[in-house]
Chains A and B, each alone.
Chain A
Amino acid sequence: MSGSIQDTFFEECEELLEATDEGLTAIEGGDHDPETVNAIFRAVHSIKGGAGAFGLDDLVAFAHRFETVFDEVRAGRMELDGKLIQLLLRSSDQLSALVEVARDGGEIDEAHNDTLLAALDEYIPEEEEDLTFEPMGLGAPAPVADLGIVPEAPAEPQEETYRIRFQPLKEMYGTGNEPFFLFQALKDMGDLTVKLDENELPGFDAMDMSESYLAWDITLVTKDSRSMVEAVFEFVEGLCELSIDGEGDAEAEANALAALDAMFSTPDAPPAPPAADAAEGEAPAVPFEPPVPAPEPEAKPAPAEEKASAPKAESGKQEQRGGPKPTLRVELERVDRLINAVGELIINHSMLAQQIANLDVSDTRDVETELEGFKNLARDIQEGVMAIRAQPVKPLFQRMARIVREASAATGKTCKLVNVGENTEVDKTVIERLSDPLTHILRNAVDHGVEKPEDREAAGKSKVGEIQLSASHRSGSVCIEIKDDGAGVNRPRVKQIAIEKGLIPENAELTDGEIDNLLFAPGFSTAKEVSNLSGRGVGMDVVKNAVTGLGGRINISSTPGKGSTFTIILPLTLAVMDGMVVSVADQTMVVPITSIVETMRGSDDMINSLGADGTLLSIRGNFVPICDVAGSLGLYRESDQQAGVYLLVETETGQRCALAVDDIHDQRQVVIKSLDGVCGEIAGVAAATILGDGKIAMILDPESIIAASPTAAAFDTERRMSNAS
C-alpha cells in the first residue's frame, strides 16, 4: 500500500471530520438547511469509502452505522431531535478517535464504541440494519477460494466448457454496454467461439430500430470458475436473457451457488436473483448478485488480507486538478527552510547596513535608499512566508467543542462551547502546541468552573453553562480567551489550599488577582481528590509552562458568581520579532517591543529610595519600581558605566516596572534563535538572536526579570496595601 495515498486519506479525513463537526454544530444551533445534512452524509460516506480501501474495518463499521442514521435523516424518515443530535455529536467524536487510532495506532475504547454503535442501531430501521458494508470488492477471488468453489486442489484447475446463450433486451443498448466487449472479456479467459443468431431478425419492413433481435451462442473453454464467467455478465444482468450451462457436474454447481447464497443472502437481497427486468421472458438462469470476477487465469486461494489489496501506487503521483479554490500542498519542512532563509536574510540585511555605516564614504544616501528597499522586500517576503504557516484556529476550536462535550458527559453537567473569532490565523506550531493547554483549561472550566445544573438554576442562571472560546489579534499578538459563566474562583478555598500546601505564608495578604493566579502555582490542585477529568495529576502550572514555552503569557481573572476568564497572549510568530536593542554592562541585548510602554532617560531627581537598596522611578507623579537588568542577570558594570535609561514595561497583571539599561541603540526586527538544548533555561532570558555585526545577543524576558526583582515585589505589596486601605 502506498504510504502517500494513505497519508492523503488521513489528511482528507481531518477535513471531512471538520466538515462533519461543523455541520453538526450548525444543526445543533438550529440550522435546517438540507444541504447541511447532505454535506455531513457525504463527509462520513467519504471516510467510509477511503477506510474501506485501506481495510480499516472498525472505522468502516462505525462510519457505516453513522452514515445509515444520517441517510434516514436525509430521506426525511427521521427527525433530528436534541437527543439524536447529541448522539451524532458523540459519534462524530468517536469517528475522530477511530481515525486517530487508525493513523497513530493505540487502543479503541471498545466499550464506548459498542455503546455508541448500539445507540445508533436504535435509529436504524430493522430492514436497513443488515445493509452491512460489503467487505469484499468486486473481483475479490479470495473468499471464493475460501468457500471451496474452486476445487480443493486448485493447483491445476480443470478445463471446463461453458455454453452460453446471450440475448440482450433492448434496454441494454441504452446503458453503454457492448456485447463485443463482453465477448472480449470472455476471450481473455480461454478458447472462445461466438456464433451470431439472427433468426429472430424480422423482415426489413417489420423491423423496429429500437428493438433487439440478435442473440449469440457462445462456447467458452476455460479453467476459470463459473462465477468468474458469470461476473463478465454482471453489468447486463437483468438486461438480457442469459443462460450459462457448464458441461461438468451439476452438483458442484449447485454447491457453489448454495455457498454463494449463504454468503450473500441478506433480508433485502434474498438468494433469488434480484433481476429487475426479468419479467420479460424467462428469468435469467443465474444469479449475478455476488460479483466475483478474477481476470487472472489461475485463481489460487489468496490469504484473506489480500482481499482489499490496493493499487501498487507509485508514490508522489499528483492530482491533476485541484478543488474550486486552487491550493498547493507543501511539506512543512520546505516552508520552515524558507523561514530560516528569510531569517538569515534579515540578519544579512542588518550586517550589510552596519558595514555600510562603517564605510569611510561621504555620501551613502543612494546606497541607503536601496538598502531600505532591500529591507522592505525582506519584510514582505517574511510576511508572505509567515502567512503560509498561519492557519485559522477553527479546527483547533472545533476539537475543543468535543473536549467540552466529553467533559460535560463525564461530570453530568451541561455546557456548550461558543467559539468566537475562529478565522483568526495563528502560526501552525502555536496552534499545535495550544491544543494541550486549551484542553486542560476547558476541562477545568467544566469540572471546576461551571456549576451543577441544579446549582445554576438556584443561582438564577440558565441550566446550560456557557464557555466562550475566542481568538483575536491584538497589536502584534494573538489573544485567546476562555471565559466561563460559572461560579468563579473560590478564593477563600484557593487561599486555604495554598496555605496548606505551603505555597504562601499563613498571614499572606493577597489581592484577588494574586489569589486567582495561585492556580498556576506548581503543585497546586483544587480537586479534593484527583478527578479523572481535569485532574490527572497535572496542575495549571503545566498549562502556564506550555504557554510561556511559546513565548506567551497566561492570566486569569474571575468574578465570584459570574465566572472566570483565562487570557492567553501569544506572539504572532515564533521566528521573528520586533525588538529594542539596548546595552547592559557592555553586553548588547534585545527587549521585545511588545512589552515596552515607553522609554525615557532618567535624571537623579527622578530616583527615590525604597527600603534598603530598592529604588523607585518617579514618572509624572507616579512611582514605578526600578529593576536593574544588569543586577538581575548577575552582570557587573565598570565604574564609569551607569544605567541611565529606563524602559517602562507592563506585565500582564498590570504591574509596571522600569527596566534600567545603559543605553538604547536601535529598534529592529530580530530573528529568534532558541536556546533550548544549548544552555538550558536562564532566568530573565527568553532566547537569543544574531545581530548585524554577527554577534549574538540575548533576548530578554521582562516578565521574569520583574518577577525575580525584590524591589518590584516589595513595591507591589506596598501598593496593594495602600490600595486596600
Chain B
Amino acid sequence: MKTKVLAIDDSRTIRNLLAATLEEAGFEYHCAVDGREGVDMYPDVDPDVVITDINMPNLDGFGVIEELRGTGINSKVPILVLTTESAPELKSRARGAGATGWITKPFDDASLIFALKRVTGAAA
C-alpha cells in the first residue's frame, strides 16, 4: 500500500515540485490549492500524512492544522508544515496548533523524503 500524502499549497510551483518528488518516490499524491479545499478534501482522501503551506488564502496553514486536529475531524495523522524561514516562533506556533514537523523551503528530494520518513516510517 502506497503512503497517501495530502499536500496543501496555493503555489502551483510548490505543488508541482511536491508531486514530482513524491510520485517518483512512490507516494500516492493528492493536493489542494488552499486551506479550505485541503480540509474539505481530507475525509475523502483519508491521507497518511498531510503537508501544508502556512500562508494561503481561504484558511491558512494554522487554520488547517486546527481544523484537522479539532474535534470535528480529530485527525491523528502527522502534519508537516512548509515554511520558508526556520523561524523558531513559527515552528513553535505550528507545533502548538498540533503540527508534527516542518519542511523548510526550498527543499530537496532527500530532505522531503527524510521528513516524511520520520513521521510515517515510510520511504514511499
Q: Are A176 and B86 in contact (CB under 8 A)?
A: no
Q: Are A274 and B88 in contact (CB under 8 A)?
A: yes
Closest A-chain residue to B36, C-beta based?
Answer: A324
Q: Are B119 and A49 in contact (CB under 8 A)?
A: no
Q: Kindly supply a per-residue 1/0 record for chain A positions 147-190, scoring 1 wherever the CB is within 8 Å of any chain B CB and 0 otherwise.
A: 00000000000000000000000000011111011101100100
What chain A residues lie within 8 Å of B78 (beta carbons)?
Answer: 176-178
A317 at the interface (CB under 8 A from B): yes
Q: Which residues between 41 and 99 of chain A lie within 8 Å of chain B, taking CB atoms?
A: 41-42, 45-46, 48-50, 52-55
Known: A235-B101, A295-B110, A309-B109. A131 touches B17 (CB 8 A): no
B79 at the interface (CB under 8 A from A): yes
A8 at the interface (CB under 8 A from B): yes
Q: Kindly supply a per-residue 1/0 record for chain B positions 51-75, scoring 1 wherever the CB is within 8 Å of any chain A CB and 0 otherwise.
A: 0000111000000000001000000
Known: A8-B12, A269-B88. A313 touches B17 (CB 8 A): yes
A2 at the interface (CB under 8 A from B): yes
Q: Are A5 and B23 in contact (CB under 8 A)?
A: no
A133 at the interface (CB under 8 A from B): yes
Q: Are A321 and B117 in contact (CB under 8 A)?
A: no
A693 to B111, CA, bound (A): 66
Closest A-chain residue to B21, C-beta based?
Answer: A311
Q: Are B15 and A319 in contact (CB under 8 A)?
A: yes
What chain A residues lie within 8 Å of B37 (beta carbons)?
Answer: 321, 324
Q: Are B13 and A178 in contact (CB under 8 A)?
A: no
What chain B residues lie within 8 Å of A600 (beta carbons)?
Answer: none
What chain A residues lie within 8 Å of B30 (beta carbons)?
Answer: 320-321
Q: Kindly supply a per-residue 1/0 record for chain A positions 184-205, scoring 1 wherever the CB is within 8 Å of any chain B CB and 0 otherwise.
A: 1100100000000000000000
A244 at the interface (CB under 8 A from B): no
What chain A residues lie within 8 Å of B117 (beta carbons)?
Answer: 181, 184-185, 188, 295
Q: Kindly supply a per-residue 1/0 record for chain B positions 83-105, scoring 1 wherever the CB is within 8 Å of any chain A CB and 0 otherwise.
A: 01111100010010011111111
What chain A residues lie within 8 Å of B33 (beta carbons)?
Answer: 321-324
B18–chain A nearest beta-carbon distance, Å = 8
Known: A176-B77, A177-B78. A314 touches B11 (CB 8 A): no
B38–chain A nearest beta-carbon distance, Å = 10
What chain A residues lie within 8 Å of B76 (beta carbons)?
Answer: 176
A334 at the interface (CB under 8 A from B): no
What chain B residues lie within 8 Å of A688 (beta carbons)?
Answer: none
B93–chain A nearest beta-carbon distance, Å = 10
Interface size range of chain A in the complex: 35 or more
What chain B residues lie within 8 Å of A321 (beta carbons)?
Answer: 30-33, 37
Q: Are A39 and B118 in contact (CB under 8 A)?
A: no
B14 at the interface (CB under 8 A from A): yes
Q: Are B17 and A310 in contact (CB under 8 A)?
A: yes
B124 at the interface (CB under 8 A from A): no
What chain A residues lie within 8 Å of B79 (beta carbons)?
Answer: 176
Known: A317-B20, A320-B30. A181 touches B86 (CB 8 A): no
A295 to B114, CA, bound (A): 7
Q: Are B110 and A52 in contact (CB under 8 A)?
A: no
Q: Kindly supply a per-residue 1/0 record for chain A positions 214-248, scoring 1 wherever the CB is within 8 Å of any chain B CB and 0 otherwise.
A: 00000000000000000110110011000000000
Known: A8-B13, A178-B119, A181-B119. A320 touches B29 (CB 8 A): yes
B106 at the interface (CB under 8 A from A): yes
What chain B residues lie within 8 Å of A235 (beta carbons)?
Answer: 100-102, 115, 118-119
What chain A residues lie within 8 Å of B46 (beta carbons)?
Answer: none
Q: Are A53 and B109 in contact (CB under 8 A)?
A: no
What chain B residues lie within 8 Å of A232 (beta carbons)?
Answer: 118
B92–chain A nearest beta-carbon distance, Å = 5
Known: A39-B57, A50-B11, A175-B99. A180 touches B109 (CB 8 A): no
A9 at the interface (CB under 8 A from B): yes
A174 to B95, CA, bound (A): 9
Q: Are B86 and A49 in contact (CB under 8 A)?
A: no
B16–chain A nearest beta-carbon distance, Å = 5
A181 to B57, CA, bound (A): 33
Known: A5-B16, A313-B16, A319-B16. A176 touches B55 (CB 8 A): no
What chain B residues lie within 8 Å of A317 (beta carbons)?
Answer: 16, 19-20, 23
A289 to B92, CA, bound (A): 12
A312 at the interface (CB under 8 A from B): yes
A333 at the interface (CB under 8 A from B): no
Question: CB within 8 A of A5: which of B17, B82, B84?
Answer: B17
Question: CB within 8 A of A185: which of B14, B85, B104, B118?
Answer: B118
Closest B-chain residue to A2, C-beta based?
Answer: B20
What chain B residues lie within 8 Å of A137 (beta carbons)?
Answer: 104-108, 111
Known: A295-B113, A308-B108. A177 touches B101 (CB 8 A): yes
What chain B residues lie within 8 Å of A551 (beta carbons)?
Answer: none
What chain A residues lie within 8 Å of B98 (beta carbons)?
Answer: 174-176
Q: Kindly supply a per-residue 1/0 record for chain A positions 269-301, scoring 1 wherever the CB is within 8 Å of any chain B CB and 0 otherwise.
A: 100001010000000000001010111100000
A400 to B56, CA, bound (A): 28
What chain B residues lie within 8 Å of A185 (beta carbons)?
Answer: 114, 117-118, 121
What chain B residues lie within 8 Å of A12 (beta carbons)?
Answer: 11-13
Q: Are B10 and A42 in contact (CB under 8 A)?
A: yes
A208 at the interface (CB under 8 A from B): no
Q: Are B106 and A313 in contact (CB under 8 A)?
A: no
Q: Which residues between 75 and 134 of chain A lie within 8 Å of chain B, taking CB atoms?
A: 131, 133-134
What chain A residues lie within 8 Å of B110 (beta carbons)?
Answer: 139, 294-296
Closest B-chain residue to A136, C-beta based?
Answer: B104
What chain A residues lie within 8 Å of B82 (beta carbons)?
Answer: 49
B97–chain A nearest beta-carbon distance, Å = 10
B106–chain A nearest beta-carbon distance, Å = 4
What chain B residues lie within 8 Å of A174 (beta carbons)?
Answer: 69, 98
Question: CB within 8 A of A312: which of B24, B56, B118?
Answer: B24
Q: Are A53 and B121 in contact (CB under 8 A)?
A: no
Closest B-chain residue to A138, C-beta based?
Answer: B111
A140 at the interface (CB under 8 A from B): yes
What chain B residues lie within 8 Å of A269 (beta carbons)?
Answer: 88
B11–chain A nearest beta-carbon distance, Å = 4
Q: Are B100 and A309 in contact (CB under 8 A)?
A: no
A177 to B119, CA, bound (A): 6
Q: Are A53 and B13 in contact (CB under 8 A)?
A: yes
Known: A42-B10, A320-B30. A311 touches B106 (CB 8 A): no
A309 to B112, CA, bound (A): 12
Q: Kindly supply a per-residue 1/0 record for chain A positions 615-656, scoring 1 wherever the CB is within 8 Å of any chain B CB and 0 otherwise.
A: 000000000000000000000000000000000000000000
Q: Which residues between 528 and 577 of chain A lie within 8 Å of chain B, taking CB atoms?
A: none
B51–chain A nearest beta-carbon distance, Å = 12
Closest B-chain residue to A53, C-beta based?
Answer: B106
A189–chain B nearest beta-carbon distance, Å = 11
What chain A residues lie within 8 Å of B12 (beta carbons)?
Answer: 8-9, 11-12, 319
Q: Kindly supply a per-residue 1/0 record for chain A positions 1-29, scoring 1 wherever the CB is within 8 Å of any chain B CB and 0 otherwise.
A: 01011001101100000000000000000
8 more contacts with CB within 8 A, not counting A53-B107, A317-B16, are A5-B16, A49-B11, A49-B14, A52-B84, A53-B14, A54-B106, A235-B100, A320-B30
A–B pairs, 6, beta carbons within 8 Å: A42-B57, A49-B11, A49-B14, A131-B85, A137-B105, A178-B121
Complex A-B, nearest 6 residue pairs according to Cβ-Cβ distance, in ascending order = A313-B20, A139-B111, A235-B101, A138-B111, A176-B100, A52-B106
